[in-house]
Protein backbone atom coordinates (compact mmCIF):
# COMPACT_ATOMS: atom_id res chain seq x y z
CA UNK A 1 0.00 0.00 0.00
CA UNK A 2 2.80 2.42 0.83
CA UNK A 3 4.51 1.74 -2.51
CA UNK A 4 1.28 2.68 -4.29
CA UNK A 5 1.17 5.96 -2.41
CA UNK A 6 4.76 6.67 -3.49
CA UNK A 7 4.04 5.96 -7.17
CA UNK A 8 0.70 7.76 -7.38
CA UNK A 9 2.03 11.37 -7.35
CA UNK A 10 4.47 10.66 -10.19
CA UNK A 11 1.67 9.00 -12.20
CA UNK A 12 -0.56 12.05 -11.68
CA UNK A 13 2.24 14.37 -12.79
CA UNK A 14 2.80 12.35 -15.98
CA UNK A 15 -0.94 12.31 -16.65
CA UNK A 16 -1.09 16.09 -16.37
CA UNK A 17 1.78 16.47 -18.84
CA UNK A 18 0.34 13.96 -21.33
CA UNK A 19 -3.38 14.47 -20.80
CA UNK A 20 -4.14 14.01 -24.51
CA UNK A 21 -2.90 10.41 -24.34
CA UNK A 22 -5.51 9.66 -21.68
CA UNK A 23 -8.33 11.91 -22.91
CA UNK A 24 -8.89 10.29 -26.31
CA UNK A 25 -9.34 6.72 -25.01
CA UNK A 26 -11.57 7.99 -22.21
CA UNK A 27 -13.79 9.87 -24.67
CA UNK A 28 -13.89 6.82 -26.96
CA UNK A 29 -14.97 4.58 -24.07
CA UNK A 30 -17.68 7.03 -23.00
CA UNK A 31 -19.07 7.43 -26.53
CA UNK A 32 -18.96 3.66 -27.02
CA UNK A 33 -20.85 3.11 -23.77
CA UNK A 34 -23.55 5.60 -24.80
CA UNK A 35 -23.94 3.99 -28.25
CA UNK A 36 -24.02 0.49 -26.78
CA UNK A 37 -26.65 1.51 -24.24
CA UNK A 38 -28.78 3.08 -26.98
CA UNK A 39 -28.68 -0.05 -29.12
CA UNK A 40 -29.37 -2.27 -26.13
CA UNK A 41 -32.46 -0.29 -25.16
CA UNK A 42 -33.64 -0.20 -28.80
CA UNK A 43 -33.50 -3.99 -29.10
CA UNK A 44 -35.03 -4.47 -25.67
CA UNK A 45 -38.08 -2.36 -26.60
CA UNK A 46 -38.53 -3.49 -30.22
CA UNK A 47 -41.62 -5.59 -29.42
CA UNK A 48 -43.52 -2.56 -28.06
CA UNK A 49 -45.42 -0.59 -30.72
CA UNK A 50 -44.70 3.10 -31.01
CA UNK A 51 -42.46 5.62 -32.73
CA UNK A 52 -39.17 3.97 -33.75
CA UNK A 53 -36.98 6.89 -32.69
CA UNK A 54 -38.47 6.86 -29.19
CA UNK A 55 -36.97 3.41 -28.61
CA UNK A 56 -33.39 4.71 -28.48
CA UNK A 57 -33.63 8.43 -27.72
CA UNK A 58 -35.02 10.57 -24.95
CA UNK A 59 -35.28 13.62 -27.21
CA UNK A 60 -39.02 13.04 -27.66
CA UNK A 61 -39.46 13.27 -23.89
CA UNK A 62 -37.44 16.48 -23.67
CA UNK A 63 -39.44 18.01 -26.54
CA UNK A 64 -42.78 17.01 -25.04
CA UNK A 65 -41.83 18.27 -21.58
CA UNK A 66 -40.38 21.56 -22.78
CA UNK A 67 -43.36 22.23 -25.03
CA UNK A 68 -45.90 21.59 -22.27
CA UNK A 69 -47.73 19.09 -24.48
CA UNK A 70 -46.76 15.81 -22.87
CA UNK A 71 -50.34 14.84 -22.10
CA UNK A 72 -51.34 15.49 -25.71
CA UNK A 73 -48.38 13.53 -27.08
CA UNK A 74 -49.16 10.54 -24.85
CA UNK A 75 -52.82 10.67 -25.89
CA UNK A 76 -51.83 10.83 -29.57
CA UNK A 77 -49.48 7.85 -29.26
CA UNK A 78 -52.13 5.85 -27.39
CA UNK A 79 -54.68 6.68 -30.08
CA UNK A 80 -52.34 5.76 -32.92
CA UNK A 81 -50.73 2.62 -31.48
CA UNK A 82 -53.27 1.52 -28.88
CA UNK A 83 -52.94 1.09 -25.15
CA UNK A 84 -51.91 -2.58 -25.19
CA UNK A 85 -48.13 -2.80 -24.84
CA UNK A 86 -47.44 -6.53 -24.97
* Radius of gyration of the CA atoms of the chain, in A: 22
3-state class of 17 per DSSP? helix
- Of 60, 56, 61, give the one whose Cα is nearest residue 43: 56
pTM above 0.85, yes or no: no
* pLDDT, tens digit (0-9, with 9 covering 90-100), for 4-54: 677 778 877 777 777 777 788 888 999 999 888 878 877 776 777 766 677
CA distances from 56 to 3, 10, 23, 35 (A): 46, 42, 27, 9
Amino acid sequence: MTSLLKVLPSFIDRARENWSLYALPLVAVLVGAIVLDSFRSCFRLRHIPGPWWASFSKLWLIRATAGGRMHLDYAGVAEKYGTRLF
